[in-house]
Structure 1
Amino acid sequence: MVPAEGLALVVKSPQAAWARLANALYKPVRHDGMAAVHPTARIEDDVYIGIGVVIGQNAEIGSGTRLEAYSVIGPGCTIGRNCRIGAHATVYCALIGDRVHIASGAHIGEAGFGVSGDERGLIDVPQLGRVILQDDISVGSGTCIDRGAYDDTVIGEATKIDNMVQIAHNVQIGRQCIIAAHAGISGSARIGDGAMFGGRAGLIDHIAVGARAKVAAGAVVYKDVPEGEMWSGFPAKPSRQFLREAAWLSKQAAQKDKG
C-alpha cells in the first residue's frame, strides 16, 4: 500500500532500480584535504600515531590507543581507549569500543558484496550501514568485516576472530564467540553468544546459529543450528549423525573391497 502522500515507481527490477537511484544520491565521505591527520579529528592524550598514518575528518581516537604504521582511519570513525590498530589496517564507517585489537592488514568497514541487475546489466548495491565492534574484541590479520547494507554489522564483546576470516554485511555476532582462520560468514547471518567456528567453516546467508553452538572445521552450514549443538560435514548436520554416516560408508566400502 502506497501512502497517500507517496508516489509509486513501478519498475521491472526494484532492487536494481533502487541501487541505481541510491548510487546517484549517495556519495561516500572521502578524506578531505592534503593533511594526513585532518585538523577536525579529535584525538585524546597518549595516542600513539605511527609513520604514514592517515586519520580522516571528524574521526575520534581514545587515549592509550596505538595506530601502527600506515594504518588508515576513515572520516567519522570512532575508536575507543586502549585499542591497537595494526600496520596497514584500514577502518571505515566503523564504531569501535575500548581495548579492541585489530591486527595488521585487517580491513574493517569496506563495502559488502551486494549485486543486483536488470536489462542494463549488473550494478553494485550501495552499502549504507556501519561496522560496530564492541569492547575487548580481537580481529586477526587479513580479516575483512564488511559494513552493513542497510543495518549495521555488529560484533559482540570479547569475541575473538582469527586471521583471514570473512564476515559479510549485516552479520550479527554475539559475545565471546570464537571464529578460526578462513571461516566465512555470509550476509545477514545471526550468531548467538559463545558460538564457535572451526577453521574454514562456512555459513550461508540469513542462517541462525544458536548460543554455544559449535561448527566444526570445514563444515558448510545450510540451515539453522540449534543452541548448544555441534555440527560437522558438508552439508553440515549434527556431528553424531555425520560421524555415524561416515562410519557406515567406510564399513560399506571396506566390505566391497573384500568382495
Structure 2
Amino acid sequence: MPDARFFETLPPLTVAALAAQIGGEVERGGDRLIASVAPLSSADGGAIAFLGDRKFAAALAATQAGCVIVPPEAVQAAPAQAAVIVSRTPQAAWAMASLRLHRPLKLDRGIARSEAVEDDTVVIEPGVVLGEGVRIGRGTRICANAVIGPGVQIGRECVIGPNVSVAFGLIGDRVKLYAGARIGEAGFGATGTAAGAMDIPQLGRVILQDGVTVGANSCIDRGAYDDTIIGENTKIDNLVMVGHNCVIGRNNLMAANTGISGSVTSGDNVIFGGKAGIGDHIAIGEGARIAAGAGVLADIPAGETWSGYPARPIRQFLRETVWLAKQASSKKAPKES
C-alpha cells in the first residue's frame, strides 16, 4: 500500500468495475473488491498486480494478489486464488487502475511554522511553503522559497537550501540539500497504449539517510512503487540525476553530471567520476570506482575500477586504447606523387 502520508487511497472497486474503466476483460472473479495496486512480489489479497513480461512468470505463479492483469496468452498461468483481467497492454491497464485507487496528496493548504517544527531552534526563512503533515527536526534550517510537500519528514540539524523542493520524502539527520535540488519528483516511467505512450504513476518514496549531501540542481526521483534510497553519508555533487527505485549504498561519492538510471543498486564506498552514466537495473559492488565519462552497461564487481564506453575494467580499457593508438600511428599517410 502506498504511504498514507503522501498518497490518498480511494474507495475500493470490484474487479468488474476496474476492468470496465481500464479497458480489460474479466476472466474470473468480477465481484472481488480491490483496494490497492502492487507488484506481483508484494501484492496481497486486496491488491491488483500485472504480468508485463514472461520473465516474471515465476512471480505470477507465486503471487498472493487478489487480482492479476495478464495478456491473453498467460491466462492459464494465473494463480487459482486470483481474479483475472485480460488485457493486451497489462502494464498500461495496471497504471490506469492505480489512478482509480490512489491519488498523490496535493499542496492545497500550507501550514504554519508552529505546526511543523520540533522546537524554536528550527529556522524557516521567508517564502517557504510547508505542506500539511510536514515535520521538521531540531536545529534544521529551511532556506528561502523552499517547498516542502505534504507529509515530508525532515530530521535534525539539516540544511534545506533556497528554492529546493522536497516531496514524498523521508529525510534523515544532518542532511544538506543545496540550492535548487529536486527530491521526490515522479520517476521516468512510460508504457505503450493504443493511443500512444502514457505515464506510469509513481507511488513510492525517497529516503535520504543521515549525513547525505545533495548538490545544487540535482534530482532524485521517488520510487515507482518501492523506495529510492540514498545511503548514509553519501555525497552527491551538483547536476546529478538519480532515477527511481535506485538503492545507493553508504559513503558513495558522485561527481557532477553523473546520471544513474532506474533500479540501479550500489554497495558502500562506490565512487562515480564526473559525467559517468549508468544503465538501468545495474548492480555495482562495494568499493567499485567508475571513471569520469564512463558508460556502464553491465554489473561491476566489488572493488573494480571501470572506464570507457561501454565501460570495462580499466586495465582492459587501457590495453585497448594503447593498441588502437599503435595501430593508428603505424599506418603512414600515402606519399604525394
Residue 93 (1) aligns with residue 168 (2): yes
Aligned to 1:140: 215
Aligned to 1:32: 108
Residue 254 (1) aligns with residue 329 (2): yes
Residue 232 (1) aligns with residue 307 (2): yes
Deviation (angstroms), 1:200: 0.3
**1:201-220 to 2 correspondence within 5 Å?**
201-220=276-295
**1:101-180 to 2 correspondence within 5 Å?**
101-180=176-255
- Cα deviations by residue, 1:183-228 (Å, 9 ceiling, x for unpaired): 0010000100000000000100000000000000000000000000
| Aligned-partner Cα distance in 2 for 1:20–1:56 | 27
Aligned to 1:6: 82
| Aligned-partner Cα distance in 2 for 1:98–1:53 | 20
Aligned to 1:69: 144
Equivalent residues of 2:111, 2:132 under 8 A apart: no
SS at match of 2:185: coil
Deviation (angstroms), 1:107: 0.3
Residue 183 (1) aligns with residue 258 (2): yes
| Aligned-partner Cα distance in 1 for 2:98–2:181 | 28
| Aligned-partner Cα distance in 2 for 1:151–1:38 | 31
Alignment: residue pair count: 258
Deviation (angstroms), 1:37: 3.5
Deviation (angstroms), 1:27: 1.4
Structure 1 residues 4-13 or 109-118, which shifts more? 4-13
Look at both structures and tell me which one has the larger radius of gyration over its CA atoms. 2
- Cα deviations by residue, 1:39-79 (Å, 9 ceiling, x for unpaired): 75354331100110001001110010000000011100000
SS at match of 1:145: strand
**Equivalent position amino acid for 2:87 in 1:** V
Give unmatched runs, 5+ long, in structure 1: none
Equivalent residues of 2:113, 2:124 under 8 A apart: no
- Cα deviations by residue, 1:80-127 (Å, 9 ceiling, x for unpaired): 000000000000000000000000000000000000012122110011
Structure 1 residues 214-223 or 115-124, which shifts more? 115-124
SS at match of 2:150: coil
Over aligned residue pairs, what C-alpha RMSD do you find?
A: 1.5
| Aligned-partner Cα distance in 2 for 1:198–1:3 | 46
Equivalent residues of 1:31, 1:57 under 8 A apart: yes
**Equivalent position amino acid for 2:88 in 1:** K
- Specify whether residues 26 and 38 from structure 1 end up closer, same or farther in structure 2 by C-alpha distance, changes over 3 A only: farther
Deviation (angstroms), 1:170: 0.3
Identical-pair percentage: 54
Give unmatched runs, 5+ long, in structure 2: 1-60, 62-77
Aligned to 2:116: 41
Deviation (angstroms), 1:258: 6.0
Equivalent residues of 1:20, 1:123 under 8 A apart: no
Aligned to 2:10: none
| Aligned-partner Cα distance in 2 for 1:38–1:44 | 10
Aligned to 2:135: 60
| Aligned-partner Cα distance in 2 for 1:152–1:9 | 27
**Equivalent position amino acid for 1:149 in 2:** A
TM-score (norm 1): 0.96
Equivalent residues of 1:108, 1:145 under 8 A apart: yes
Task: Tell me which of 88, 92, 97 is aligned to 1:21.
Answer: 97
| Aligned-partner Cα distance in 2 for 1:141–1:176 | 19
Structure 1 residues 206-215 or 6-15, which shifts more? 6-15
Equivalent residues of 1:146, 1:168 under 8 A apart: yes
**Equivalent position amino acid for 1:225 in 2:** I
Q: Post-superposition, which runs of at least 4 consecutive aligned residues in structure 1 deviate over 6 A?
A: none
Aligned to 1:221: 296
SS at match of 1:244: helix
SS at match of 2:331: helix
